Amino acid sequence: MATTTFEAVRAEALFASDLQSSQCPARGEIRGAVAATLRRMGVRGCAACVAAEFGDHPETAVTRMAWALAQVRATYTNRRPRTMRTIAA
């Protein structure tokens, strides 16, 4: 499955957040952590954090990014575009 830009940014933000996979966070917690981390660090700050972790701890960074990407894909599922008929109903 190809990763979209939105998925990548959200996964980097989740990666850089304080949430841990051992916490088994709910979707609301994941959304909150992504939003808070993006507000605090920005897109570039999250990317820099990910790069630093892959440089310093590549063996654990791979696992954390795989977890973050899986959680982002499960949390931010693609919705069917709304049509005018759906909106009018």
pLDDT in tens, 53-77: 999 999 999 999 999 999 999 999 8
The C-alpha atoms of residue 65 and residue 12 are separated, in whole angstroms, by 8
The C-alpha atoms of residue 22 and residue 37 are separated, in whole angstroms, by 19
As for how many domains the chain has, the answer is 1
- CA-CA-CA-CA torsion sign (44, 45, 51, 52): positive
Does the predicted TM-score (pTM) go above 0.85?
no
Domain that holds residue 76: 5-88
Q: Is the pLDDT of residue 87 over 70?
A: no
